[in-house]
Amino acid sequence: MSIAGKIGTTLETLRRWIRQGERDSGLREGLSTFEQQRIKALELENRELHKSNEILKLASTFFAQAEHDRRFKP
């Protein structure tokens, strides 16, 4: 029985873990686990900032129109 079977995983999963461990240790090229997590966090923050920006644009347009309408009413 292979080590993968003994720890309850597949051989391919074990290979991926080993390769990622090598990246994390600097023995293999590629993104470390920390770098992958940081990129994921930055992408999430970027999406949230884009959403906030859209909301602010809509609010700005709404209040600018309201101010414009208020100025010209008799």
> What is the full per-residue pLDDT of the chain (74 aa) written as tens digits?
689 999 999 999 999 999 999 999 999 999 999 999 999 999 999 999 999 999 999 999 999 988 877 766 55
**Residue 74 to residue 72: CA distance in whole angstroms:** 6
Is the CB of residue 20 less than 8 Å from the CB of residue 12? no
Evaluate if pTM is beyond 0.95. no
Per-residue buried b or exposed e for 11-40, using 16+ beta carbons within 10 Å of the residue's own CB: eeeeeeeeebeebbeeeeeeeeeeeeeeee
Is the CB of residue 32 less than 8 Å from the CB of residue 24? yes
